[in-house]
Amino acid sequence: MKYVLLLITTCFVMRVEAQGVLTLDEAVRISLENNYAIKIAKSNQKIADNNNTRGNAGMLPVVTGSANKNYNISSVTIGLFDPNLPTIERSGVANNTGGAGINAVWTLYDGLGMFIARDRLRELQKTNVTQIESAVENSIAQVSNAYYDIIRQSRRVKNLKQGLEISNDRLKLSRDRYEVGQGSKVDFLSAQVDYNEDKAALIAQEQALENSKISLNSLLIRNLQEGFSTHDTITYDKTLSLDILREATVKQNPLLILAEQNKRLAEMEVKMQKSAQLPQIDLVTGYNYNSSNNGAGAPQATKSLQNFAFNYGLRASINIFDGYNQKRRIQNAKIGQEIANLQEGDLRNQLNTALERTYLNYRNALELIKLETENYKIARQNIDIAFERYKVGNSTSYELREVQRNAVVAETRLIEAEYNAKITEIELLRLSSKILE
């Protein structure tokens, strides 16, 4: 039997070692490499980079080339003014015309619209960078939360296993007493029921642990059944300052930065629409070639013609009246600017509220850790005393069961307090963008 237990233990250790310990840093690294939201944000950034050109802003000339060749077959009857000349009649006459050219239009002035467009493209680049930062921070926070949830579930499994060991010892003791006639069958059956109850709770908790691992694997975008183990301790920072976090949130939170960037984009849109009310001046130039060939005509008519022409000049245009559409677009742009200002103010208020509430939860969690740590120590002492009293017959099974439950509940509350402290810490760091530090 001893060798069988040794073999089982060795196989279990080898399985754990084969799975390997997944650290939080490693989990974050894998997530940043595989996260779909980050990949999408980076792809959008490439599009924004490609769009930020002088040509897309309208600062460069537009050059177009064209060519054409047309054929027609017709019947022709030509009557001449000179009565001495006969009427000319032809059928199946083939005519053709053709041409080619290069033309260019270069906008010299459009109410500064092209410069506003270039600034807008640059601002769009910045917004995509901000969106990448937001996606990265959210990914780190989600992975961190999932990682510490696994630690929480793992510690709860360990807690229930300890309770199950006590129930097993009590079951053995009550069975032995019953078999030798020193205990009642009721105590033996009650111990059996309590043992089964604790075992069922352990099975459910082990399932919760596996579900937490699946959730983390999902965030890491890898095989959901990938085996791994984690560290079993939760460390937390007790020195976070609300004033420092509040200042960092105002300066660094990507959502707030994005809202400010959207305000600037809305302001640029108003300027862009106003620029359309001003004159536009274009430099136009081109070089064109045209030819025509006639299959029939009077003797003195032109049979073929070729024309080469180079043209250049300035063209000015202004929108005088377009059914008040430009006025409507300006009004809508101003409304959009007001909306952007309101959204920025609303977001600032939401972030401040979330920061205050989360920090309050964080401080309460730290206080609860102190209280629950002391309660857990007392509960562990009580379980040792109660079990010794039960063995010598100075305590009932009901009293032992209550003490046992109190010990399990006390440790569960301690685990939850430590987990809540860590989760609120992560959220505070995410809100203030200190999670990247």
Q: Which of 143-152, 155-164, 388-397, 404-413 has the lowest mean pLDDT?
A: 388-397
Sequential DSSP letters for 163-208: HHHHHHHHHHHHHHHHHTTSS-HHHHHHHHHHHHHHHHHHHHHHHH
**pLDDT band at residue 7 using 50, 70 and 90 as cut-offs:** very low
Q: Are residues 183 and 302 in the same domain?
A: no
Does any domain span residue 33? yes
Q: Which of 39-53, 254-268, 328-342, 382-396 has the lowest mean pLDDT?
A: 382-396
Residue 416 CA to residue 98 CA, distance in Å, equals 84
Read off the pLDDT of residues 39-86 as tens digits, 9 standing for 90 and up.
999 999 999 999 999 999 999 999 999 999 888 877 767 666 667 767
What pLDDT shows up at residue 188?
Answer: 86
Strands 280-293 and 62-78: unpaired
CB 338 within 8 A of CB 383: no
**pLDDT band at residue 290 using 50, 70 and 90 as cut-offs:** confident
Q: Are residues 426 and 286 in the same domain?
A: no
Does any domain span residue 17? no
Give the pLDDT mean for 315-344. 95
337: pLDDT strictly greater than 90: yes
Does any domain span residue 348? yes
Q: Are residues 331 and 353 in the same domain?
A: yes
Identify the H or E element spanning 304. strand 304-317
Does any domain span residue 58? no
Identify the H or E element spanning 285. strand 280-293
Contacts of 99 (CB under 8 A, 6+ apart): 66, 67, 68, 288, 289, 290, 291
Q: Which of 117, 124, 116, 110 is closest to 261 using CA atoms?
A: 124
Beta bridge partners of 311: 286
Give the pLDDT mean for 254-281. 96
351: pLDDT strictly greater than 50: yes
Joined tokens for residue 300: 């003195």
Q: Are residues 89 and 213 in the same domain?
A: no
Give the pLDDT mean for 427-434. 96
Q: Are residues 220 and 293 in the same domain?
A: no
To 10 degrees, what angle do helices 397-431 and 325-391 make? Answer: 150
CB 305 within 8 A of CB 96: no
**pLDDT band at residue 3 using 50, 70 and 90 as cut-offs:** very low
Does any domain span residue 339? yes
CB 407 within 8 A of CB 383: yes
Strands 88-109 and 62-78: antiparallel
Joined tokens for residue 201: 């709770």
Does any domain span residue 2? no
Does any domain span residue 10? no
- Give all strands (DSSP E) within 82-239, no chain letters: 88-109
Polymer length of the chain = 437
CA 412 to chain centre: 33
Q: Which of 117-121, 133-137, 393-397 has the lowest mean pLDDT?
A: 393-397
What pLDDT shows up at residue 2?
Answer: 34
Q: For the beta carbon of residue 162, count every other beta carbon within 10 angstroms.
A: 16
CB 351 within 8 A of CB 256: yes
Domain finish residue from 266, 296, 317:
317
Domain with 297 in it: 63-108+280-317
Q: Are residues 239 and 331 in the same domain?
A: yes
Domain count of the fold of the chain: 2
Q: Are residues 285 and 266 in the same domain?
A: no
- Apex CA 170: angle with CA 164 and CA 176, to 5°? 135
What pLDDT shows up at residue 14?
Answer: 42
Q: Are residues 154 and 245 in the same domain?
A: yes
19: pLDDT strictly greater than 90: no
292: pLDDT strictly greater than 90: no
17: pLDDT strictly greater than 60: no
Residue 311 CA to residue 105 CA, distance in Å, equals 12
Could you give phi then psi for residue 100, rounded to 5 degrees? -155, 155
DSSP 237: -
Q: For the beta carbon of residue 262, count every other beta carbon within 10 angstroms.
A: 21
Q: Which of 146, 150, 149 is closest to 138 using CA atoms?
A: 146
Q: Are residues 79 and 158 in the same domain?
A: no
C-alpha dihedral, 261 to 265 to 271 to 275, nearest 10°: 140
Could you give phi then psi for residue 117, rounded to 5 degrees? -65, -40
Q: Are residues 126 and 94 in the same domain?
A: no
Identify the H or E element spanning 136. helix 113-179
CATH number of the domain bearing residue 192: 1.20.1600.10
Q: Are residues 226 and 178 in the same domain?
A: yes
Q: Are residues 296 and 217 in the same domain?
A: no
Average pLDDT across the chain, whole number:
88
Does any domain span residue 124? yes
Read off the pLDDT of residues 198-221 as tens digits, 9 standing for 90 and up.
999 999 999 999 999 999 999 999
